[in-house]
Structures are given as C-alpha cells and as structure tokens.
Structure 1
Amino acid sequence: MHLFFTDQRTALKVGDVAGLGHEGVRELFDRRRVDTGTPILLDGAMRPVEPVSSWFRTLALERMDPKSMKAYAHTVLLLINFLLKRHEDLRSATEYDIKDFESWRREGGRHTVGDSTWDRDSAAIGRLYDYLVDIGYVASKPWRPVRGSMSLDSGISQDVRVRHMELEQYLFCRDVGFGGLTPDAGLDASFRGCRPHRNRAACELALMTGMRIQEWSTLLLPELSLGAGRRPATCYVDLARCAKGRRPRSVYVPAGAMELLDPYLLIERPEIVAVAQRSLRRRCRDLFVVERLEADGTRARGVLDGVTVVRAIKDMPPDLRRIAVLETGGGLDPLALFVGRGGLMLTSSGWDRVRWQAWERMKAWAGHERAPVMPRRCWVFHDWRHTFALRLLIFLTRQALNDTVDQQLPMATLLDHMTGNPLLIVQHRLGHATPATTYRYVRYLKDPMREVDDAFREWTAAGGASYITIARHVLGLEEHAHAAQG
C-alpha cells in the first residue's frame, strides 16, 4: 500500500488530473472537496483503499491539523500492514490483534515507542473505529471497555517536563550560540555562522512573546506593521491560521523584541533579498505576487497561479505565507519576516539546523569561566515559550501578593481574583485551551531541588564526618600519615 498527501499547488502545476483540467482541479480544492494535506491510501493498483481514505477526508473536513492527520495516517498504515501479515483486516480484527499490535509497537518493532507515542497511536485507532462503527462497516470496536471506557491508551498521566532557562543561560544561548559572540561579549573571529542578527532577533521574539515556533517563524512584515522604513515601538499580532488548533489570539510584542529586529532589518535582510532577486524572478509563476496591501495591511491582493485573489493575512496558511512576495517595482520583497537563502521563509527544518549549530557553539564554549550550566540535551525553541510562561507567572503572582498586602486585606476580592488571576492571564497569553495546561507551571514557581539542598545542607559530608574520614580513622591511616610526615 502507498500513502500520499494531497497538495493543491502540485496538482495545479500538473494541470490536467484524471481529465478534470486545471479549473476542475482548482474547484476540488476551492469547494473543500479535497483539502491540502489530506492523506490518501492507495493499493498496488493505485486505487483508493476504502473506507480508510474516506475517513481521512472526514478528518480534513473536521479541520484537523495536517500534521496530526499525517501522524494518524502513518499509525493506521502500520496497523493495516500488521493485520495483513496475519491475514486479517480492519473488519475481522479482534481484541487480541489490537493488543498484539500494541505489544509490537512497544517492544517488537524496529523502532519501539513509549507511552506518549502509543497514546497518540491509540487515539488514531480509536477515532478510526468510531468512524467504522458510525458508517456500519463494523458492529462494534474489537476491544472490550477498560475502566468503564473504550480507550486503548496507556492510562498513565504524562508528567510533562517544563524545561526553562535562567537569565544567564538565555543570554549565553542567544548571544554566544545564535549570535556568534564570545562568553565575555567580544567578537569571535572564528565564528562561521550564518545571519547572527536574524537568529538573535528570532530568539528575542520567541522569548518575549511566548509564541510557538510555527507562530513566530511564519510571521509576515505587515503583521508587525513593518515596511517602508517604519517600525513601531510595540505592536499586537493577531494569530489565527498559524496558531495551534487555529485558536485565534492576540500576542503583544514588547519594545525589546522590536528593537532587536533593527540590525537584522537594516543590515542582513536587505542583503539576503538583494542576492535572492534572480532566484525569486525565476520562480515568479510559483509565487503569490502581492500587488498591494489593503485595509491597513491586513489584506493582500495579488496574483496566485495566474488568478488575482485577495487574502486576509491572518488567515493565510504557512505554505502560502512562505511564497508571498511584494512587487515593489524595483524587485520582489518577501513578505516573510525571517528569510533565508533564496529569499523565502525558513522552514522548521531550516530553524532546526540553526538551533543545532548554535548548540555546538555553546558546547564548545561550555568550559569558559563565564559559561552557565548547560543542560544535557539541546535546547529546543519550545523552551523559550516555557521560560516566558514561568517568568510571567512568577511576576504576576508576586504582584498579586503585593497588591493584597498593600490593601491590608485578608484575601483579594472576587473581582480582583477574576481579573488578575495570574494563571488565567498566562493561559490567555499562551493560547492554552484549558487552565489545566497552564497549571503545570505552578510547581516551578520555586525550585524544589534548591529547597532540598537547603534542607539537607548540614547533613552532607561537607558539614561533618564523611564515610571516608571515618574509615581512615578506624583503619589507622591518619596515624600512618602523620608518622610519615614526621
């Protein structure tokens, strides 16, 4: 079996697909009969495998994220191939087959998985069989209820580690790792990295806003009110299509993050765009060439695949943002804030390469006297988001406590609690769907390891006799040492 994923732009390049013609293909996507990123499972004769392919389309119509659909599709493909080797299929599968598949995924496969990955797999299988029961393909799910539910998951609550940075770690990461400086803030003549101003600005923007990488890395210049030589002191960005779960929220970009963009926007970005002009012109037919920005920069009018269209910028998906360029008359200027080689928006894999290069630099300077404590694993961009959440929560909590003390009240009023609750504010800033997700940061308000150190400081070997000291005394080694010295 072969697993494919639909791509509107690739299909339009082909032109005539299955006799539909260019306009017929466009109509399929425009009327949402087929969404970009929808999985399709084909057999050896390149025919759709049903009812799995119809279930994939149902997921797309429910607006499931393409990344999640891809993960679900691969899980279901693994299950189908596993059943085929047993001469079974989705209809004839039994509870033992599903349990054996779980055992194979956890212990017998080439790449075994843990609880969190299996929980995702079980969610995909459960959702598939929900659909199969609804359409009457099977009478019921092939497994019995556990703890009153029909869940296949591990039943283990995942203790998500909130890894965050201290100030010294962040500055070392931003300036030494991403910026190419030395730990004492000097210029490193051996630095051979690429675009340090861009990378430092990205770090600052990620930290100071708490945005996820798919949010800050896909920002467009008009969303920050940048362009035509202007830069506001601060701004708000309305996230929609690129937010997780497409949950709209407004993100505040403070002055510090905006200021660090200046060296990149004035020095590096113009150079990247100028070098990329020939490449951009050559690819012009494949780009979304914006003729002008409308409605105070919130809408883009331009030519896409030979057709003049108008798109609301906040509703533009990442793949369209990546190819959006503004026709300035003197050249093509990418609308993307952060651009790389070729003048287009950096992809997630591109930022991963930048991150690993920064990590190698940090490890090389780890022995320096001004280098902070380094974690065992490479920092990931989501750690910036954790740091933002924790620092904001600590600040708001202290502020709420100080306000209560200043008012000389035994407790805050209900209105103060509702409007100034630190957890609710942080939840809103991060775009969490429920307060429960934000609540996991509470345990990090104080460092529990530091409390352990303080509680047992006088109990340690440093504060009294150690086993080594006692052993030396019992064995008389100290007397022999004194005699030798005498």
Structure 2
Amino acid sequence: MDLAFVESGLLEKYLDSDVISAEQVAALLKRRGILDGTPMYLDEETQTPIPPLCEFGRYLSTALLDETTLKDYGRVVGRVDDHLAELNSDVLSATESDLVSYRSHRTQWQKKPVGGSVWSRESFVLDDLYGFLVDRKILTHRPARLAARGRNALAPQVRSGMDIRHLTFEQYRYFRDVGLGGQLPDAQVNPTFRGWSPLRDRAGSDIALGSGTRWREWATVLLPEVGLWPGMPGGAAEFTVQACAKYAKARTIYVPEDAVGSAELFCLLERPDIVCRAARSLERKARDLFVVGEVDVAGGRVRGVLDGVVREFQMSAMDAKLRRITVFEGEFGLEALTLFVCRGGLMPGADAWKSYRHRAWTRMTDLADETTPLLPARRWRWHDLRHTYALRLLTYLENMMDGEEPDLQARRRRHRSYLTGHIRHNPLLIVSRRLGHSNPETTYEYLQYTDDLINEFEAAFNGWVGDDETSYAAIASHAISSAKGGR
C-alpha cells in the first residue's frame, strides 16, 4: 500500500488532464470539505484508492484536524500496514496477535523504540480506525479484544504523568547565550562560532520563555502582533492567539517588554540582511504567496491578494500554513510578515527550529567547563521553556500570597484559601489560563515542583550522614536531578 496526502496547492503545477481542470478539482475538494494533509491510501500495483481506508482519511478530515496532525495520523496507518505486510497480512485482515506484534516492534524491537507518549497516540489512532471500520460495517468486530476496565491489547502498558523539565536561571542563560548566541561560557565572543543567525534564535528563546507559549504559537507570531510595526508604540505586546493554539482555543498572549526588545534587536541587526537576500526569490513566488497590502493594527486584520483574489483575514484566525506565505511590500521588496525568517525569506518550519536547538546543544556540551551549570542527560526542548515559565510564575504568585510567613504555615494557609478565595486570585488558575490549559488538572502537575524539596530534606535528615562537608541535602539533590533529568 502506498500513502499520499492531499495538496491542493500542487494541482495547478502537476495536474495534466483534458477531463477536468486544476480549478475544478480544487473547487471539488473545497466543496467536499477535504482538507490539505488528508491521507490517501493507494494500491501499490494499480495506484487506485483503497476505499475503506480512504473513507477513514476523509473521516479524519471532517474532524477539522490541522494538516500536520492529519499527516501524522495517516502515517500511523501506513506504518502498521508496512509491518503487517511482512506478516502476510494487512490492516483490514489483521488479527489481535498481528497488532500486538506491531506494538512490540514499535516499543521494543525497532532500532529506536518509541516512548509511551508516542505509542499512546498511535494506539489511539488504531483504536479510532477500527472503531470507524466496525461502525461502517466494513468489519464485523475489532481485532483487539477489550479487557478489564475497557482496555485492549494495544493500550499503553504504563501511564505516566507529564514530562516536566525546567531550567534554572543559570541553565537558561547558558542555553540562550552559549548554545544559541554563540558566546563562550565566560560571556566573551567565540571566534570559532559559525552560527548563521544568533540574534533570531536568542529572540525566539526569550519570547518562548517570556510568554510561556507553545512552539507553534511563538514561532509563527506576526510583526504587528508583537508590536514591531510602523506606528505602534513599542514596549510589551498583547495579542490573541487562536488558529495556531492547541485545539484552536483562543486566549490572550502577553509578551513582556524585555522579550520584545530582544526581537527588536534581531529586526534591527539581522533581519534586514536576510530579507534583502531573499527579496528576489520571493518576487518570483509572488503568485503563490498571500501579498498583504493593508494592515489594520487596531482591528487585528490584514487584507491582500491570495490566489488572485482579494482576501481579508483576522490575524488570530490565520493558521501556521497561511502565516508562512504571508508577505508585504517592504524596503527591499517582498518580505515575510512573520517576525522570524530564515534564508529563504519565509518563516522557519518545525525541522529548522529543531536543528537550531540541536546545534545549540552540541555547542553547549562541547564548551562545558567547571563554570557550566548542571546539564541534564537529555537535550532540552523548546517546550521546556514553557515549563520554566509556568513554574517561575506559579512560584512567584504563591510567594506573593504567602508573604513573610514560614514555609509550613504559609503552605497550610495557601491551601485553605485556594478553595475559599476568589477564583481570580488563585495562582494555579491564573497560570492555567496563561498556559491555555483546557483542564486545570493539567496545571496541577506543576505543584510538585514549586516547593523547596532540598531544604525539606535538609531539615529532616540534618546530621544523619557524613561530616560537615557532606549533607543529606547534597545526596537528595543528586537523586532528584537524576530522576528528573536535571536540577
């Protein structure tokens, strides 16, 4: 079985038929509600669609999933079929033992086994697939039997909590300045640094940390949203994010003045050169871009030409794909309306930001010396900056509430007043709203990291082991660092 994805933008370039035009096919896809990224499953020999699986792809499309998610879900089914082909089976005739074999292959035997979170997503897709096939009477029953409590053989064996990994102040500065910024550990210029755009990468980390947003939210921000647009007053920025937010749940994003200042420095020193180099290339691609001619800052709207038609969009309603092709006429010609740009002149994608982070980690570990803060065993992720934001804000709000009282008394008073105090002043709910969590229970996971566990260990076990030079707190600190992958 071969896997393909719907890409309406490629129709005009590649469709060669006297029967139907590219415009007619695009209109039909739009009328039927088939989104870009919808998976299509084709027979290897005839290259004709496999009806039951293509129906499942259309079912996913009607769920209004974003393009990346549609492709990820489609690849799950493709991987399963590839594995089953080796067992002389396929998705439609698979047995429970076939699927258990696939689970073992993915989680244990392949060269790089996947973790619990990845398998949890794949098992969800498979469960959804077979539920769809049974509902449509294509199959008489699911291949995997239900066991106790409604679990089946494909369900993850271990359910783990959130993988919360946060940075200390020293760790963040080392990550930002040495890893991304190309400095030496002593804050001097590194003459061997070969990074291409350190100010951009530093600005990205500052906005990610300062706003607590997810990667898709901060990496796709537009210049008017962050306040770097002619006629705007500057300083801190506040805007609404929705289309690029998880589950498209709207919320207000606040970017502090220092983070905006970091982005402004990138716009002054690095961005013009990138834009100038890419202007000619963007001019050649103009017909495939959304060329904005009017920006309504107060109304949060942009107006321009897309596919030869004048269109107007609310900025918060623009998804990542549209933002990536949005340009305006600047000083050097066409330039991206997004804050962050790469060599091609448009917004960097997920793989690009991943490579920036990986190169930063390599520099950090290569330059590590006795002054380097403790580095975790695993590479930091961009999402760790969101965790750091959440913990720092939650701790700060709790300390504001506690005042000068000793820890134990403050903690008791805090937990009494959380349930009885006004909901607007509850630190946990404030952080939950800032992070855009759909359920406050998700934010509860951070509570275990807000108290000073090391001091509690010190008070409980003071003098138990070692001499004055060695305390139980040091041992506990090492144990906690090892368990959490960092400090």
**TM-score, normalization by structure 2:** 0.87
Matched residue of 1:159: which SS?
Answer: coil
**Equivalence map 1:176-325=2 (5 Å):** 176-228=178-230, 230-294=232-296, 296=298, 298-325=300-327
**Is the 8 Å Cα contact of residues 279 and 334 (structure 2) preserved in structure 1?**
yes
Q: Does the C-alpha gap of structure 1 residues 113 and 206 become closer, same or farther in structure 2, counting only changes over 3 Å? A: closer
Structure-2 residue corresponding to 1:366? 368
Partner of 1:39: 39
**Residues 38 and 403 of structure 1, relative CA distance in 2, 3 Å threshold:** farther
Which of 351, 354, 369 is the equivalent residue of 1:352?
354
Alignment of 1:434 onto 2:439: yes
Deviation of the 1:365 alpha carbon:
2.6
In structure 2, what is the equivalent of residue 386 of structure 1?
387
Provide the identity percentage: 38
Whole-Å separation in 2 of the counterparts to 1:36 and 1:157: 33
1:361–1:144 Cα change, 3 Å: closer
- The whole-number CA distance in structure 2 between the counterparts of 1:420 and 1:323 is 41
User: Distance between the aligned counterparts of 1:318 and 1:293, measured in 2?
Assistant: 18
The 1:220/1:149 distance shift into structure 2, 3 A limit, reads: same
Deviation at 1:66, TM superposition (A): 2.9
State how far apart, in whole Å, the 1-side matches of 2:246 and 2:74 are.
20
Aligned counterparts of 1:247 and 1:395: Cα–Cα separation in 2: 26
Q: Give the partner amino acid of 2:310.
A: T
Structure 1 residue 332 displacement after superposition: 1.4
DSSP-derived class of the 1:63 partner: coil
Deviation at 1:138, TM superposition (A): 1.8
Q: C-alpha separation between the residues in 1 aligned to 2:103 and 2:428?
A: 37
Change (3 A) 1:311 1:42: same
TM-score w.r.t. the length of structure 1 is: 0.87
The amino acid that maps onto 1:23 is E
Task: Report the CA distance between 1:327 and its aligned residue.
Answer: 2.1
Tell which structure's C-alpha radius of gyration is larger.
1
The partner residue of 1:339 within 338, 341, 363 is 341
Cα distance in 2 for partners of 1:359, 1:82 equals: 34
Task: Give the match for residue 400 of structure 2.
Answer: 399
Superimposed CA distance per residue, residues 117-175 of structure 1 (whole angstroms, 9 cap, x where no aligned partner)? 32222111110111112111122222322123154312421133311010111111112
CA distance in 2, matches of 1:351, 1:27: 34
Match of 1:171 in 2: 173
Cα offset for 1:397?
1.5
C-alpha contact (below 8 Å) 2:224/2:297 kept by paired residues: no
Corresponding residue of 1:69: 70
Instruction: Give the Å deviation of 1:59.
Output: 0.9
* Coordinate RMSD, CA, aligned: 2.8
> In structure 1, what is the Cα distance between the partners aligned to 2:383 and 2:413?
38
Using the alignment, how far apart are the partners of 1:17 and 1:37 within structure 2?
23
Q: Structure 2 CA distance, aligned partners of 1:414 and 1:205?
A: 33
Residues in 1 aligned to 2:441 and 2:110: alpha-carbon distance in whole angstroms:
34
Shift of 1:324: 0.9
Contact 1:143 1:150 in 2 (8 A): no
Instruction: Give the letter for the 2:134 counterpart.
Output: V
Q: What is the one-letter code of the residue matched to 2:346?
A: L
Change (3 A) 1:66 1:293: same
Partner of 1:135: 136
SS in 2 for 1:291: strand
Unaligned runs of 5+ in 1: 466-486
Confirm or deny: 8 A CA contact 1:176 1:182 kept in the other structure.
yes
1:20 equivalent to 2:25? Answer no
Letter in 1 for 2:291: V
- What is the rounded CA distance, in whole Å, between the counterparts of 1:352 and 1:464 in structure 2? 42
Distance 1:444 1:47, change over 3 A: same
Matches within 5 A, 1:81-92: 81-92=82-93
2:424 maps to 419
- Using the TM superposition, give the Cα deviation of residue 420 of structure 1 relative to its aligned residue in structure 2, in angstroms: 1.5
Residues 380-439 of structure 1: CA deviation (Å, up to 9, x unaligned):
111100100010111112222339999x98943866342222221111111112112111
In structure 2, how many angstroms separate the alpha carbons of the residues matched to 1:348 and 1:462? 51
Q: CA deviation at 1:235?
A: 1.8
- Deviation, structure 1 residue 297: 5.7
Higher alpha-carbon deviation: 199-208 or 22-31: 22-31
More off after superposition, 262-271 vs 142-151: 142-151
CA distance in 1, matches of 2:275, 2:219: 17
Q: State the alpha-carbon separation in 1 of the partners of residues 91 and 209 from structure 2.
A: 46
Distance 1:295 1:461 in 2: 64
Instruction: Find the aligned partners of 1:428 and 1:135 in 2 and give their Cα distance.
Output: 40
**Paired position in structure 2 for 1:458:** 463
- Cα distance in 2 for partners of 1:299, 1:456 equals 60
1:11 aligned residue: 11
- For 1:101 and 1:435, locate their aligned partners in 2 and report how far apart those are by CA, in whole Å: 35
Q: Which amino acid aligns with 1:121?
A: E
In 1, the alpha carbon distance for the partners of 2:183 and 2:82 equals 52
Residue equivalent to 1:476: none
Tell me what 2:481 maps to. Answer: none
**Residues 187 and 87 (structure 1 numbering): CA distance in 2 closer, same or farther, change over 3 Å?**
closer
